[in-house]
């Protein structure tokens, strides 16, 4: 399941950044490498929250730099949700 979630997040980021999902790497800087502005970043966050039925703290999301950072943050909230 974790692998599917990773791929789903990468696809969603790619869609909003208007990139080929196959070219998205976890090491990509979401803003600098992918050209995602703050509005698009919020769109990514909202889409992930809706798709996975989680709520991500915006202050923590602000610290996300790379695609891997985003995946790690989402996984944290998913594991937290399962623990309830």
Per residue of the chain (84 residues), give pLDDT as tens.
689 999 999 999 999 999 999 999 999 999 999 999 999 999 999 999 999 999 999 999 999 999 999 999 999 999 988 875
Q: How many CB atoms lie within 10 A of CB 66?
A: 18
Chain-centroid distance of CA 10 in Å reads 7
Place of tokens 């769109």: 43
Place of tokens 């923590």: 60
Q: What is the pTM of this model?
A: 0.92
């Amino acid at each position: 399941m974790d692998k599917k979630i990773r791929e789903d997040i990468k696809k969603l980021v790619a869609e909003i950044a208007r990139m080929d999902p196959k070219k998205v790497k976890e090491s990509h800087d979401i803003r600098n490498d992918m050209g995602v502005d703050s509005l698009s970043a919020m769109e990514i966050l909202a889409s992930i929250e809706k798709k996975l039925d989680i709520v991500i703290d915006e202050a923590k999301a602000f610290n996300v730099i790379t695609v891997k950072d985003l995946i790690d943050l989402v996984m944290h909230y998913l594991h937290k949700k399962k623990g309830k």
